[in-house]
Amino acid sequence: MDLERRTMQLYCRFEALFPQPEEVRRFWFEMAQHESRHFGALALVAGLLGSAPERTLPAAPALTREHVLRFRELLTTAEAEAAHGLTLPRAFEIALAIEGSEIEDLVLDLLAALKGETERERAVQLLIHDLGDLSYMIEKYGGSKALLTKADARIEQQLFRLRGVDSVGRPACQARPRRRDR
């Protein structure tokens, strides 16, 4: 929960740092608002587990301690940069790193465990929407072509995820066929 709260606060800081144009300020406000929903979802999980300690919820098995530490370091660095001032393109770069992190996957998995696959699909759609808005902002307000390419690739990755297939059209849960050595 702390990581989602810090992400929300970082986007609030970006909203204060970039009040103009209004479109950019509104973008950062909406990003903070979406993070507040993630924070609320995690608070709900904590409440459910606290009220029924025997309850278990499956969560992102691929999420490791190293992922959390890396994300915490990303946030700490971003918070320091925001405190000293940063450019709008750098804020976009940080947001893309955050939105592309494994922590986002954890929140999506927890939502699925709580409310079913339909809720997870809705959350992925919202993530795609956020990434689309980020891509638009990068293109319109001076992010680099390389950053725009990364944002668009992340959108595509999430679209495949939403469809339940990998980037070549196989079911996401299907293992890749092994090559046979001859």
- Max distance between CA atoms of the chain, in angstroms, equals 62
Q: State the pLDDT at residue 11.
A: 97
Residue at 158 is within a domain: yes
Q: State the pLDDT at residue 60.
A: 53
Cβ within 8 Å of residue 169, ≥6 positions away: none
> pTM to 2 decimals?
0.79
Residue range of the domain that includes 87 = 2-52+66-163
- State how far the Cα of 27 lies from the Cα of 23, in Å rounded to an integer: 6
Residue at 38 is within a domain: yes
Residue at 139 is within a domain: yes
Residue at 95 is within a domain: yes
Flag residues of the chain having pLDDT under 50.
172-182
Q: Encode pLDDT of 112-144 as tens digits.
A: 776 777 777 777 788 888 889 999 999 999 778
Q: State the pLDDT at residue 41.
A: 74
Report the candidate in 14, 11, 69, 70 with the shortest Cα–Cα distance to residue 38: 11
Q: State the pLDDT at residue 169.
A: 54
Look-up of token digits 């050595």 = 181
**Beta-ladder partners of 165:** 171
Residue at 154 is within a domain: yes
Q: State the pLDDT at residue 182.
A: 34
In this structure, are residues 11 and 31 in contact, taking their beta carbons and an 8 Å threshold? Answer: yes
Residue at 45 is within a domain: yes
Query: How many residues in total does the chain contain?
Result: 182
Specify the number of domains making up the chain. Answer: 1
Q: State the pLDDT at residue 101.
A: 78
- State how far the Cα of 36 lies from the Cα of 44, in Å rounded to an integer: 12
Residue at 177 is within a domain: no
Residue at 178 is within a domain: no
